[in-house]
């Protein structure tokens, strides 16, 4: 299929392009940008007048809930949700059931995902067997099966000895290690930020030092082992400052922030809104403001959706008993645009945080529009505002703190490998 | 997104009693004033009035508490309501029925009011949010969050003995961190205009930024009790006496237990309160608990009247 | 419309009670107007028994319609109801429902030897088989009008008439 996308405002952060230019696609690849190649006969012409044409988005944390957790969501529903959100590459955490700790499981997931012919799926391999933090996984084998990076499940870092060994082993093969920094002994049954809101509501807390102590340990182990580290979904101003210092010292550390932590604080819990039961917990508004600026100055390399679909009943419980997580892959673009608009940033800079930057962190060739490259493309209307409702969201998870809000950015088309996989 | 206070309807009329936080002083005072009339009823030979005849009140206790449940039961029976006690800790929940399943089932039995006790903070809010609009919810204690009827009966007791809230110094002493009673007391006291509320506890029993609730923090009884008019003691849960919060009940009693000597540091006419049940020799000395400054037994009596007031006001506030 | 003079009605009521009532009776005023009247009668008739007051809010039959009265006052009966001759006092007698509630409440204090009832004004419109033994003044008013007794700062009583449909 040959596709001609015309009249669109093409924004490609990696190549620094923001101009009205046409794109020509053939055999799954971009064949030309600007003028049509000789004898190009489009079988489909997309008129992108007043729309933005950008690289397909790269989301660093999307839970597809397979294998094992299909009652929450299925691969089909969540893959459809991803492309509806303009996302064409997704990294999925290993905390499935069973965890992604064996090549067979990873191959099965890759195969299932591929057969759906939608977004590219990049499983994050388990760093330790069963994610138990005791024995290393066969990382090299897992890499052959398709795992590009390795990580632990949320808030369950191995003890420091095992973590150091795992980091050393990963660095042997040049794999990067992805960790969400949270010290488990300071977490306990905590469900909320240790601040005024938790004090008022009488909720058990996760103090900021649970994050900073873990970050401190990881920074020291990064120095010790030399492995590349990516810190997932940081939540605190103090943690951010530590990462900024480590990066200034030249340590190979990157980090990301979730759409939730970019826009919300513990105040949003209101009267026990279980949609705001997230991990790490939503922190204070000054933490949130620091994260927004950390993203601006580049300390934080990417925004992820932290997509975690949860079944309805699991949220209809008292706050502390409700399931952690929120749906988000369809909100990644709108909430990134919202951040950009509030910070008065040009779209070129804004979109880099969900295209080229996360692609670089994940170490994949994606997130750019280049002749010869895969035609993974998102076409959206930046001026279209839509209301977040259960029916507007394709994900099987209908829980998000943003429910009911009007947000900018309506995806019109999503292309993966030159195929139109979503059209609105 | 912050929503409207879920306890009030769009006209500011009380529909549920979930917490003392965010309720205007007029609502709190209306409950206290109404309770005054019920004290008269509880002193008569016939202690029953026909006000809630035909109403069904369900005591939903997801956490065992004979004492609190009994006071609600007495209050409801004195109002001529039909009372149903459900000890759900051992029934439906263990069969995998969710909290809202239980509530929906009982709603179908034409309940008019739920009195809810639950170990999780926010449980009463959750129920109030999902019940049909003509059902009223009273929070009888949720996790570490709120216990509004206890705080209201405390306010009633203070008003009885001290008359005016606006010239008092009140100290709340003990395990503030885990106490729903303390939180509800703090909000009620500050709303009713008490100019100085203190909390006195070791740092391991204080929540973060507690001063944001409008209280002054003390760690030393000698300093904290100076010029105090009202001492509100808190119960120390057994499981917190030895471990990461406190080394031993003995050490706690030595530094924070209310003895006659420590009480003498407060004003001479200070009153001593306790929500019960007391740990004598841990948070309070028997000599103080049974002494002439103690108003702990009147608290229990007033508790019935206050709960009668809350039930009748809610039952009368139809949407 | 010309309303009767409340002070004259009071004098007339007091005379009727004085001429007829049981010697040893106790007075109970029903909140709020009935309490003003009972206080004046208590003094005027020189009654020895202390004065009682009743707030019938807890015994009203319209709770399901209008909820709890916003300002409930405590009922105080500082004498033994058991075996007493009681004279209930209220300002305006209309449907009889308030008296029904008051009688019910009284019986929760004990079994009186007798209950009589004095109303400053009987305006008609009965819905229950209740009558006053003593009335200051009798008049017929349309059902959509509300007759209310007010007490001035000088203690002077006066009648006021409202449309029920309009806010006061």
The answer on pLDDT for B90 being more than 90 is: no
Q: List the single residue in C67, C73, C108 with the smallest CB-CB distance to B37.
A: C73
What pLDDT is stored for residue B238 in this prediction?
81
- pLDDT tens, residue by residue, C104-148: 999 999 999 999 999 999 999 999 999 999 999 999 999 899 999
- Positive or negative, the CA dihedral A301, A352, A92, A406 is positive
Q: How far is the C-alpha of B119 from the C-alpha of B145, rounded, in Å?
A: 10
Within 8 A by CB and 6+ apart from A170, the residues are A127, A139, A150, A176, A177, A227
The answer on pLDDT for C65 being more than 80 is: yes
Residues of B in CB contact (< 8 Å) with C are: 30, 33-34, 36-37, 39-41, 44-46, 48-52, 312-313, 315-318
Residues on chain A touching B3 (C-beta within 8 angstroms): 270-271
Q: Which residue of B has its CA nearest to A275?
A: B1
User: CB–CB of B315 and C76 under 8 A?
Assistant: no
What pLDDT is stored for residue A70 in this prediction?
82
Over residues B247-251, the mean pLDDT reads 93
- The answer to whether the CB of B124 falls within 8 A of the CB of B118 is yes
Q: List the single residue in A195, A316, A319 with the smallest CB-CB distance to B121.
A: A319
Cβ contact C–A (≥3 pairs, < 8 Å): no
The SS3 of residue C112 is coil
Q: Which residue of B has its CA nearest to A206?
A: B208
Tokens matching residue A233: 């979904």
Over residues A270-275, the mean pLDDT reads 96
The answer on pLDDT for C64 being more than 90 is: no
Over residues B125-145, the mean pLDDT reads 95
What pLDDT is stored for residue B4 in this prediction?
72
User: CB–CB of C105 and B39 under 8 A?
Assistant: no
What confidence category does residue B92 fall into, taking pLDDT thresholds of 50, 70 and 90? low
Chains that touch A (3 or more CB pairs under 8 A): B
User: CB–CB of C63 and B313 under 8 A?
Assistant: no
The SS3 of residue C113 is coil
Which secondary structure element, helix H or strand E, spans residue A315, and what is its range? helix A312-315
Q: Could you tell me which of C89, C84, C113, C86 has the C-alpha nearest to residue C31?
A: C89
Residues on chain A touching B6 (C-beta within 8 angstroms): 271
- pLDDT tens, residue by residue, A175-224: 999 999 999 999 999 999 999 999 999 999 999 999 999 999 999 999 99
The answer on pLDDT for A69 being more than 70 is: yes
- The answer to whether the CB of A49 falls within 8 A of the CB of A62 is no
Query: What are the catalytic residues of A?
Result: 306
User: CB–CB of A317 and B180 under 8 A?
Assistant: no
Residue predicted with more confidence, B258 or B12: B258
User: CB–CB of A319 and B183 under 8 A?
Assistant: no
The SS3 of residue A288 is helix
Q: List the single residue in B34, B46, B48 with the smallest CB-CB distance to C68.
A: B34
The answer on pLDDT for B96 being more than 70 is: no
What pLDDT is stored for residue B1 in this prediction?
39
Tokens matching residue B306: 């206050």
Q: List the single residue in B49, B315, B316 with the smallest CB-CB distance to C108.
A: B49
Q: What Cα–Cα distance (Å) separates residue C1 from each residue in C4, C140, C146, C161?
A: 10, 12, 13, 9
The mean predicted confidence, pLDDT, of chain B is 93
Residues on chain A touching B146 (C-beta within 8 angstroms): 202
What pLDDT is stored for residue B5 in this prediction?
87
- pLDDT tens, residue by residue, C96-115: 999 999 999 999 999 999 99
Angstroms from C31 CA to nearest CA on chain B: 13
Tokens matching residue A289: 């403001």
Q: How far is the C-alpha of B118 from the C-alpha of B137, rounded, in Å?
A: 13
For every residue of A20-51, which 3-state class applies, written as one string? ECCEEEECCEEEEECCCCCCCCCCEEEECCCC
What confidence category does residue C54 fall into, taking pLDDT thresholds of 50, 70 and 90? very high
User: CB–CB of B50 and C72 under 8 A?
Assistant: no
What confidence category does residue A3 fall into, taking pLDDT thresholds of 50, 70 and 90? very high
What pLDDT is stored for residue B73 in this prediction?
96
Contact of A319 with chain B, judged by CB distance below 8 Å, is answered with: yes
Which secondary structure element, helix H or strand E, spans residue A258, and what is its range? strand A253-258
What confidence category does residue B2 fall into, taking pLDDT thresholds of 50, 70 and 90? very low
Least confident range of B71-85, B91-105, B156-170: B91-105
The answer on pLDDT for C168 being more than 60 is: no
User: CB–CB of B122 and A270 under 8 A?
Assistant: no
Q: How far is the C-alpha of A308 from the C-alpha of A290, rounded, in Å?
A: 24
Q: How far is residue A401 CA from its own chain's centroid?
A: 17
- The answer to whether the CB of B83 falls within 8 A of the CB of B57 is yes
Angstroms from B299 CA to nearest CA on chain C: 19
- pLDDT tens, residue by residue, B219-234: 999 999 999 999 999 9
What pLDDT is stored for residue A271 in this prediction?
94
Residue ranges in chain B assigned as alpha helix (H): 25-42, 66-78, 99-107, 123-130, 148-162, 180-191, 221-224, 249-256, 260-263, 286-289, 296-316
Backbone φ and ψ of C88, nearest 5°: -85, 140
- The answer to whether the CB of A219 falls within 8 A of the CB of A263 is no
Other C-beta atoms within 10 Å of C32: how many?
Answer: 15
- pLDDT tens, residue by residue, B256-285: 999 999 999 999 999 999 999 999 999 999
Over residues C50-59, the mean pLDDT reads 94
Contact of A406 with chain B, judged by CB distance below 8 Å, is answered with: no
Q: What Cα–Cα distance (Å) separates residue A386 from each residue in A267, A276, A407, A410?
A: 24, 21, 6, 7
Angstroms from A301 CA to nearest CA on chain B: 28
Q: List the single residue in B36, B51, B312 with the smallest CB-CB distance to C74.
A: B36
User: CB–CB of B51 and C59 under 8 A?
Assistant: yes
User: CB–CB of B209 and A196 under 8 A?
Assistant: yes
What is the 8-class DSSP label of residue A128?
A: B
What pLDDT is stored for residue B158 in this prediction?
98
Over residues A305-323, the mean pLDDT reads 94
Instruction: Determine the residue among A201, A270, A284, A312 to mutate to test chain B binding: the one whose Cβ has the most chain B Cβ atoms within 10 Å.
Output: A201
What pLDDT is stored for residue B107 in this prediction?
86
Determine what percent of chain A is predicted with pLDDT higher than 70: 100
Environment class of residue A238 by beta-carbon count within 10 Å: exposed (0-12), middle (13-18) or buried (19+)? middle
User: CB–CB of A202 and B121 under 8 A?
Assistant: yes
Tokens matching residue A282: 């939503």
Q: How far is the C-alpha of A262 from the C-alpha of A235, rounded, in Å?
A: 9
What pLDDT is stored for residue B95 in this prediction?
58
Other C-beta atoms within 10 Å of A178: how many?
Answer: 28
**Model-level pTM?**
0.92
What confidence category does residue B319 fall into, taking pLDDT thresholds of 50, 70 and 90? low
CA angle centred on C68, ends C156 and C155, rounded to 5°: 5
Does A98 sit behind a cis peptide bond, omega within 30 degrees of 0 on the bond before it? yes
Residues of C in CB contact (< 8 Å) with B are: 55, 57-59, 63-64, 66-68, 70-76, 104-105, 107-110
Q: What Cα–Cα distance (Å) separates residue C43 from each residue in A239, C7, C10, C37, C47?
A: 79, 15, 13, 10, 7
Angstroms from A393 CA to nearest CA on chain B: 19
For chain B, give me the number of helices (H) and strands (E)? 11, 9
- The answer to whether the CB of A171 falls within 8 A of the CB of A222 is no
What pLDDT is stored for residue B93 in this prediction?
55
User: CB–CB of A198 and B142 under 8 A?
Assistant: no
Q: List the single residue in B98, B118, B120 with the smallest CB-CB distance to A313.
A: B98
């Amino acid at each position: 299929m040959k596709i001609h996308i015309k009249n669109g405002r093409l924004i490609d952060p990696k190549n620094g392009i923001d101009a009205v230019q046409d794109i020509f696609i053939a055999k799954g690849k971009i064949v030309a940008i600007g003028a049509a190649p000789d004898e190009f006969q489009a079988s489909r012409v997309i008129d992108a007048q007043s729309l933005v044409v950008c690289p397909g988005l790269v989301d660093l944390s999307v839970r597809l809930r397979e294998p094992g957790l299909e009652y929450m969501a299925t691969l089909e529903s969540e893959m459809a949700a991803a492309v509806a959100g303009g996302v064409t590459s997704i990294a999925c955490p290993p905390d499935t059931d069973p965890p992604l700790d064996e090549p067979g499981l990873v191959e099965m997931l890759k195969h299932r995902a591929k057969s759906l012919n939608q977004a590219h799926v990049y499983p994050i391999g388990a760093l330790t067997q069963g994610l138990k933090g005791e024995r290393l996984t066969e990382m090299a084998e897992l890499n052959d099966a398709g795992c590009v990076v390795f990580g632990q499940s949320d808030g369950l870092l191995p003890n420091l000895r095992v973590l150091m060994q795992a980091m050393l082993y990963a660095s042997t093969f040049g794999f990067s290690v992805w960790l969400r920094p949270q010290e488990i002994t300071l977490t306990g049954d905590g469900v909320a930020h240790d601040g005024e809101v938790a004090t008022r509501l009488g909720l058990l807390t996760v103090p900021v030092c649970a994050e900073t102590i873990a970050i401190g340990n990881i920074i020291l182990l990064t120095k010790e082992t030399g492995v590349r580290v990516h810190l997932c979904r940081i939540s605190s101003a103090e943690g951010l400052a530590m990462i900024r210092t480590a990066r200034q010292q030249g340590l190979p550390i990157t980090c990301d922030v979730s759409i939730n932590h970019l826009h919300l604080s513990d105040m949003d819990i209101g009267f026990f809104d279980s949609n705001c039961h997230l991990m790490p917990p939503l922190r204070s508004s000054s933490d949130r403001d620091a994260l927004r600026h950390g993203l601006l100055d580049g300390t934080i390399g990417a925004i992820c959706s932290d997509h975690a679909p949860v079944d309805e009943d699991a949220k209809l419980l008292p706050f502390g008993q409700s399931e952690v997580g929120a749906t988000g892959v369809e909100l990644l673009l709108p909430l990134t645009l919202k951040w950009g608009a509030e910070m008065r940033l040009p779209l070129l800079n804004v979109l880099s945080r969900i295209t080229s930057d996360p692609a670089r962190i994940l170490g994949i060739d994606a997130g750019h529009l280049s002749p010869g490259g895969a035609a993974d493309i998102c076409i959206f209307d930046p001026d279209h505002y839509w209301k977040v409702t259960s029916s507007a969201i394709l994900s099987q998870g209908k829980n998000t703190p943003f429910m009911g809000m009007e947000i900018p950015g309506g995806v019109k088309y999503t292309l993966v490998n030159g195929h139109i996989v979503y059209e609105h | 997104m912050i929503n409207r206070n879920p306890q009030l309807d769009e006209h500011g009329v009380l529909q549920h009693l979930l917490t003392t936080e965010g309720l205007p002083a007029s609502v709190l005072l209306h409950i206290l004033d109404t309770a005054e009339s019920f004290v008269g009823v509880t002193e008569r030979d016939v202690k029953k009035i026909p006000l809630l005849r035909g109403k069904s009140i369900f005591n939903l206790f997801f956490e065992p508490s004979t004492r609190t449940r009994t006071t609600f039961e007495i209050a409801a029976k004195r109002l001529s309501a039909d009372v149903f006690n459900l000890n759900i800790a051992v029934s439906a929940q263990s069969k995998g029925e969710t909290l809202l399943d239980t509530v929906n089932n009982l709603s179908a039995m034409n309940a008019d009011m739920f009195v809810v006790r639950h170990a999780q903070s926010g449980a009463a809010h959750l129920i109030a949010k999902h019940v049909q609009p003509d059902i009223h919810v009273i929070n009888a204690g949720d996790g570490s969050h709120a216990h509004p009827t206890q705080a209201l009966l405390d306010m009633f007791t203070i008003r009885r003995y001290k008359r005016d809230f606006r010239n008092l110094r009140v100290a709340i002493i003990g395990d503030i961190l885990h106490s729903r009673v303390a939180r509800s007391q703090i909000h009620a006291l500050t709303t009713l205009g008490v100019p100085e509320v203190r909390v006195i506890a070791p740092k391991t029993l204080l929540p973060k930024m507690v001063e944001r609730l409008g209280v002054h923090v003390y760690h030393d009884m000698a300093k904290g009790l100076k010029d105090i008019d009202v001492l509100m003691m808190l119960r120390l849960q057994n499981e917190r006496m030895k471990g990461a919060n406190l080394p031993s009940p003995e050490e706690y009693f030595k530094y924070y237990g209310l003895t006659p000597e420590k009480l003498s540091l407060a004003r001479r006419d200070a009153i001593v309160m306790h929500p019960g049940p007391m740990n004598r020799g841990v948070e309070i000395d028997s000599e103080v608990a049974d002494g002439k400054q103690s108003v702990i037994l009147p608290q229990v009596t007033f508790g019935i009247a206050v709960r009668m007031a809350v039930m009748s006001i809610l039952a009368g506030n139809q949407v | 419309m010309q309303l009767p003079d409340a002070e004259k009605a009071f004098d007339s009521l007091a005379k009727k009670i004085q001429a007829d009532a049981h010697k040893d009776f106790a007075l109970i005023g029903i909140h709020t107007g009935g309490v003003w009247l009972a206080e004046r009668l208590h003094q005027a008739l020189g009654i020895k028994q202390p004065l009682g007051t009743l707030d019938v809010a807890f015994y009203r039959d319209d709770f399901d319609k209008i909820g709890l009265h916003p300002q409930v006052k405590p009922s105080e009966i500082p004498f033994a109801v058991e075996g007493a001759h009681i004279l209930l006092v209220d300002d305006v007698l209309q449907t009889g429902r308030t008296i029904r509630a008051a009688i019910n409440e009284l019986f929760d204090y004990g079994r009186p030897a007798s209950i009589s009832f004095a109303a400053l004004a009987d305006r008609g419109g009965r819905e229950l088989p209740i009558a006053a033994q003593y009335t200051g003044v009798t008049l017929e008013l349309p059902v959509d009008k509300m007759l209310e007794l007010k007490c001035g700062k000088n203690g002077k009583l006066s009648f006021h008439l409202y449309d029920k449909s309009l806010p006061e």
